[in-house]
């Protein structure tokens, strides 16, 4: 196992009716900005619950944060915060609202151009405190330090991370997710699944506990994902998917182990250039990352085949093939298509992506840092 530091201070309020308890988590004298997306919270009862919970507090609202939140929109919230003297944020929505709010929190007191936080990885020295009410299980943003923001003007999608943007608290009430359309439920399952694979399917690091945590999240998503799609108001299965998605990317399963993230880095470019949903890009890229990297990931692929998909018979190559095929089939079974052509995207996207990687000066991706732009090209060539 590699050395690691693990720190995660996010207070989780899990379960039915927990929105009612947020007032106790926010200082009474706080001046709050409630941030949200395109309006789903106004039609599913979540907004009413938040408003009731904040009855004793002073708050304003900022709506209109897009999926794959835009820098241009978030900067408008920064202006509002400065004018109104806001000192606490409450993000209510999916990963985009949460990520956007993390950026807003970091940008308010940033000296210089806030895009540098992403484009130049400029250090974040302070951030406004904030809490979250999560309405879409997928990203893990409710319990991590990551934020992904898109600059619309240049179609760039970049991330930053800082311990200063850990939420103070996050409400995970599975009932707030009942209104999700099937497309977003499927997306969430694929995103959480891929987060686990990025941290698990690398090479053995003598970390059996982290491996089994990872495998148990994958198995839970495989068991509970189809149940929650078939019966969206089944509280038990939705609760299990919500908690799986949070634990998939709250830092715990990644302690002391190598991590990949090739699929995510390629996926962000596909979203930036062609507007695919985040999870759609992962469903397309992940099976092909595993295929191209099968020699580098051989031992873990065999472990994954056996422990997650129960593939123990036949020769090793065939087991690896089947494990990759089962991964693809699972994504399709939860309604997320796995080919670029399913989204009307051609292979002419490949040079655009490899050029971007080269221009940003990255050396290589992956757990061995040997996924060069050439390897990215091989992966994308299989995505047709
Ligand atoms: O905007 P509203 O009207 O709220 O509608 C949203 C949006 O259209 C809707 N939605 C959310 N909750 C709902 C609901 N509709 C009905 N009922 C509800 N309860 O769902 C749509 C998609 O929402 P979005 O927040 O964009 O989805 P998701 O949670 O998948 O977030 C995706 C973003 O997170 C980033 C992605 O790159 C993408 O920008 N990620 C963030 C990560 C992190 N912070 O650690 C890691 C991930 O790998 C990912 O990169
Ligand atoms: Zn993701």
How far, in Å, CA of 359 to CA of 259, rounded? 23
Q: In angstroms, how far is CA 283 from the centroid of its own chain?
A: 13
Q: Taking Cα atoms as reference points, which of 247, 94, 99, 225 lies closest to residue 160?
A: 99
- Is the separation of the CB atoms in 105 and 77 below 8 Å? no
**Between the CA of residue 114 and those of 80, 145, 303, what are the distances in Å?**
15, 17, 43
Protein residue whose Cα sits closest to atom 8 of ligand 1 = 67
**Between the CA of residue 178 and those of 105, 121, 136, 172, 313, what are the distances in Å?**
29, 37, 9, 12, 40
Given CATH 3.40.50.1970, say whether it is the number of domain 11-176: yes
DSSP string over 240-254: HHHHHHHHHTSSSTT
How far, in Å, CA of 357 to CA of 372, rounded? 9
Ligand 1 centroid to residue 96 C-alpha, Å: 5
The predicted structure's pLDDT at residue 360: 85
Pocket test for ligand 1, best of 8, 10, 35, 40 (most atoms within 8 A of CB): 40
Q: β-pairing, 146-151 with 156-161?
A: antiparallel
Plot region of 369 (φ>0 → left; ψ -120 to 50 → alpha; else → beta): left
Using DSSP, state whether 192 is helix, strand or coil. helix
The pLDDT of residue 361 is above 90: no
The predicted structure's pLDDT at residue 218: 99
Ligand 1 centroid to residue 160 C-alpha, Å: 17
This prediction's pTM: 0.98
pLDDT digits (tens, 9 = 90+) for 130-143: 999 999 999 999 99
Which ligand is located closest to the Cα atom of residue 268? 1
Q: In angstroms, how far is CA 111 from the centroid of its own chain?
A: 28
The pLDDT of residue 291 is above 90: yes
Q: What is the DSSP letter of 22?
A: G
The pLDDT of residue 363 is above 80: no
At 329, is the pLDDT very low, low, confident or very high (cuts 50, 70, 90)?
Answer: very high
pLDDT digits (tens, 9 = 90+) for 124-177: 999 999 999 999 999 999 999 999 999 999 999 999 999 999 999 999 999 999
The CATH 3.40.50.1970 portion of the chain extends over 11-176
Strand partners, 371: 365
pLDDT digits (tens, 9 = 90+) for 204-220: 999 999 999 999 999 99
The topology under which CATH files domain 182-381 is: Dehydroquinate synthase-like, alpha domain (1.20.1090)
Q: What percent of the chain has pLDDT over 90?
A: 99
How far, in Å, CA of 56 to CA of 241, rounded? 33
The CATH 1.20.1090.10 portion of the chain extends over 182-381
Protein residue whose Cα sits closest to atom 29 of ligand 1 = 95
Protein residue whose Cα sits closest to atom 3 of ligand 1 = 38
**Between the CA of residue 297 and those of 185, 198, 372, what are the distances in Å?**
29, 11, 16
The predicted structure's pLDDT at residue 376: 97
Residue 369: Cβ within 10 Å count: 10
Which ligand is located closest to the Cα atom of residue 286? 2
How far, in Å, CA of 74 to CA of 108, rounded? 10
Q: Which residues line ligand 1 (CB under 6 A)?
A: 37-41, 44, 67-68, 93-97, 99, 135-136, 138-141, 144, 146-148, 176-177, 179-180, 184, 187, 191, 249, 264, 278
Using DSSP, state whether 147 is helix, strand or coil. strand
Q: Which atom of ligand 1 is nearest to the CA of 178?
A: 19
Which ligand is located closest to the Cα atom of residue 188? 1
Which residues are placed with Cβ below 5 angstroms of ligand 2, an ion?
191
Ligand 1 centroid to residue 113 C-alpha, Å: 26
Q: Which atom of ligand 1 is nearest to the CA of 136?
A: 12
pLDDT digits (tens, 9 = 90+) for 5-47: 999 999 999 999 999 999 999 999 999 999 999 999 999 999 9
The pLDDT of residue 52 is above 90: yes
The pLDDT of residue 199 is above 90: yes
């Amino acid at each position: 196992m590699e050395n690691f530091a693990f720190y995660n201070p996010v207070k989780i309020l899990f379960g039915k009716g927990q929105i009612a308890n947020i007032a106790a988590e926010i200082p009474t004298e706080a001046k709050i900005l409630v941030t949200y997306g395109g309006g789903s919270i106004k039609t599913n009862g979540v907004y009413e619950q938040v408003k009731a919970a904040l009855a004793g507090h002073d708050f304003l609202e900022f709506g209109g944060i897009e999926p794959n939140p835009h820098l241009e929109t978030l900067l408008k919230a920064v202006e509002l915060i400065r004018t109104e003297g806001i000192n606490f944020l409450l993000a209510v929505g999916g990963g985009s609202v949460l990520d956007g709010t993390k950026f807003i929190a970091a940008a308010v007191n940033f000296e210089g151009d806030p895009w540098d936080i992403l484009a130049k990885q400029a250090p974040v020295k302070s951030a406004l405190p904030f809490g979250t009410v999560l309405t879409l299980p997928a990203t893990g943003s409710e319990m991590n330090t990551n934020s992904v923001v898109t600059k619309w003007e240049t179609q760039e999608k970049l991330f930053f991370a800082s311990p200063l943007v850990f939420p103070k608290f996050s409400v995970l009430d599975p009932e707030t997710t009942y209104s999700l359309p099937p497309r977003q439920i499927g997306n969430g399952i694929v995103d959480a699944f891929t987060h686990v694979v990025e941290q698990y399917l690398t090479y053995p690091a003598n970390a059996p506990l982290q491996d089994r945590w990872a495998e148990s999240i994958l198995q839970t998503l495989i068991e509970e994902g189809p149940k929650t799609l078939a019966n969206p108001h089944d509280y038990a299965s939705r609760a299990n998917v919500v908690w799986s998605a949070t634990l998939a990317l709250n830092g715990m399963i990644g302690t002391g182990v190598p991590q990949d993230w090739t699929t995510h880095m390629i996926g962000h470019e596909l979203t930036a250039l062609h507007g695919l949903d985040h999870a759609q890009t992962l469903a397309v890229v992940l099976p092909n990352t595993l295929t191209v990297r099968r020699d580098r990931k051989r031992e873990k692929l065999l472990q994954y085949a056996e422990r997650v998909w129960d593939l123990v018979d036949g020769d090793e190559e065939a087991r690896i093939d089947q494990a990759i095929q089962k991964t693809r089939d699972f994504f399709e079974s939860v309604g997320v298509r796995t080919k670029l052509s399913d989204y009307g995207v051609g292979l002419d996207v490949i040079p655009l992506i490899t050029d971007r990687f080269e221009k940003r000066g990255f050396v290589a991706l992956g757990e061995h840092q040997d996924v060069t732009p050439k390897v990215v090209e091989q992966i994308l060539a299989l995505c047709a």
